[in-house]
Amino acid sequence: MTESLHLDAPLVPGAVNFRDVGGLSAGAGRTRGRVLYRSGQLAQLDEKGITALRGLGIRRIIDLRADEEVSHAPSRVEGLDLVTQRVPLFLGSVASFFADDIGLDEMYRRLVADSAAGVVDVVRGIVTDQPVLVHCTVGKDRTGVTVALALAAAGVDEGAVVADYARTETLLPAWRSRKIVDSLRSSHPEAVHLEDLATKSPAPVMQALLADVRERYGSAGDYLRAHGLTDDEIAELRRVLVVEE
């Protein structure tokens, strides 16, 4: 697997799975630091978290959650000078994936197929303003897939893309994962894929998704082009995210 240099995670109290995707190998270069961040939801930010977020100079937040998720856990970003871009990615509720007991592979294939316009909107948001933060509820699936596709389209090495996705599982507090799994298990006692859906980010799942995108479209960039992104926008994505060494 291609090595990647993960930058130290900025401390944003109250934000789970918050990190900078700078330092990932991209051919002869690396992804720029302090440009693209990713995380889970921002509803538990305290005053120190809000101050930390302000200190990062983030100009745009791209929130991938559905309306009911935002209503239940609104982001605490009041007073920050930034744009919040809403791009709900799942067609249907998050709860339906647990009820249907589908695996991560199938969830990601559905996201890529059914939410392509939203993925393009996310990439356009990344290109429009920097620094930019992309987040969903946990920062694992919707964030994981869209950030992976953006990174791949910008020319980041596949091994580094996969490693960044897989890193999420190590950043989710164990106590939190146990609490979520126990709560979901009470509603879905027979579900086979519940723990994976709620807490896991296995590297083979992202490897399979990227392989499926290549098979269907040629590359992540070609996938974005097929759904409306222009060559100029993809070139700008690479310019924004990657610095040559």
Q: Supply the residues annotated as catalytic.
A: 136
The region that residue 55 occupies, defined by phi over 0 for left and psi between -120 and 50 for alpha, beta otherwise, is alpha
Q: Return the closest-CA partner of residue 134 out of 45, 50, 64, 239.
A: 64
Nearest to 164 by CA among 35, 2, 41: 2
What are the angstrom distances between the C-alpha of 24 and each of 28, 44, 215?
11, 28, 24
Residue pair 122/36 in contact by the 8 Å Cβ criterion = no
- The C-alpha atoms of residue 236 and residue 228 are separated, in whole angstroms, by 15
